[in-house]
Amino acid sequence: MESTTQSVVEIRVTGYGHPDAQRLSAEVQEEYVRRYGEGDLTEMHPDHFDPPAGLFLIAYLDGEPVASGGWRAKKAGPHGLRDGDAELKRMFVAPAARGRGLARALLRRLEETAVEAGHTRVVLETGTLQPEAIALYTSEGYADIQKFGLYREHPQSVCMGKELPPAAPRP
């Protein structure tokens, strides 16, 4: 007799200061070191992801934290950022949990929450040594935009954005 068990995935709002978020953030930093030789030096604080300024999510697989991502509100700036932008940060799926659609599910949920919070575009910075991330974002409608942020002058930096639909009117 064959036994099948189905994994349970739950996406929770945790905040960036949550211990699970910090653990996954440390893992993504290790990934950056492996790929680029150093971690991401972009300034990150838990309050950047506290509503309404932002939001941070963790995907749990059978109760274990295995994926993360968040957005934080941005204001218009000299490098193409606009009022209404939400910057995607710390998208990561632990190696053992990859290939299950968790990154896509997290990305779509982050976009939904950004729309609900009144944002009009999601922007992000990734790198040429993360082709799987670029492929995901491209498949979800992201396109190259003007480079912004700490790594805007770096040749391996790739900045992408996606216009969001207007929020549905509330009854």
What is the reported pLDDT for 103? 97
Which domains are present in the chain?
9-163 (3.40.630.30)
What is the reported pLDDT for 1? 47
Task: Give the span between the Cα atoms of 59 and 126, in whole angstroms.
Answer: 20
What is the reported pLDDT for 167? 80
What is the reported pLDDT for 5? 64
Task: Give the span between the Cα atoms of 95 and 87, in whole angstroms.
Answer: 24
Q: Identify the segments of the chain with pLDDT beneath 50.
A: 1-3
Burial class (CB in 10 A: 0-12, 13-18, 19+), 52: exposed
Q: For 151-162, what is each residue's pLDDT tens digit?
A: 999 999 999 999
Characterise 90 by phi-psi region: left (phi > 0), alpha (psi -120 to 50), beta (else). Answer: left
DSSP state of 167: P
Strand boundaries in the chain, DSSP class E: 9-13, 54-61, 64-73, 85-93, 121-127, 143-144, 157-163
Task: Give the span between the Cα atoms of 125 and 21, in whole angstroms.
Answer: 19
